[in-house]
Amino acid sequence: MSTEATLLERCDSKCELCAADTKLNAYPVPPESLVTVDYAAMLCDKCLAEIEDPQDINHWRCLNDSMWSQVPQVQVLAWRQLTRLNSESWAQDALDMMYMEEDTKTWAMKGMSADDKPFDCNGVELKKGDDVTVIKDLPVKGTNQVIKQGTVIRGISIGSDPKLVSGKANGGQSMYVIAEFCRKK
């Protein structure tokens, strides 16, 4: 039996992320580049088009189901998409519930681009809800104000640009700060 036929049998001819029964394509899960039964997933055209850059946020609510797949490569893809969408509360909630074996999680993290996740000055990944401390005085664009070194920003959020984190500091003042100028508390 060919690799594609085995993959189609495994997924019951439905997209392994959204369960669409349209035309399917074998997708090698990075960092793998070859389509094999152990390192590929069957995806519909919609999922394939948005796998690297999700645009239709509501489409990805399908991950609430596919994240529970017993197929490691499907778990990896679901975790990566939820991580990219973690500024959405439903995606963050799903990530908090998701369980993966350690080697599967390592695979998932290995294939992520550093651009997809915010890191503090020590290379520690920042997550929604973390508290951070500003490590140097930072001028606020368009004003003569400065965010002082040592300012604590509580309960950060991560938006569409993972290099920026936002949160409240100084008595409830909301601000955006470049993640690399922060240290996780």
| pLDDT one-digit tens code per residue, 79-135 | 989 988 877 889 889 988 998 898 898 888 776 665 567 878 777 888 888 999 999
Q: Which of 90, 30, 96 is nearest to 60 (CA)?
A: 90
Where along the chain do the CATH 2.30.30.40 domains lie? 132-184
- Determine the pLDDT at residue 113: 61
- Check whether domain 132-184 has CATH 2.30.30.40, yes or no: yes
| pLDDT one-digit tens code per residue, 8-47 | 999 999 999 999 999 999 999 988 888 999 999 999 999 9
- Determine the pLDDT at residue 114: 59
Has this prediction a pTM greater than 0.95? no
What residue type is 135 in one-letter code?
A: I
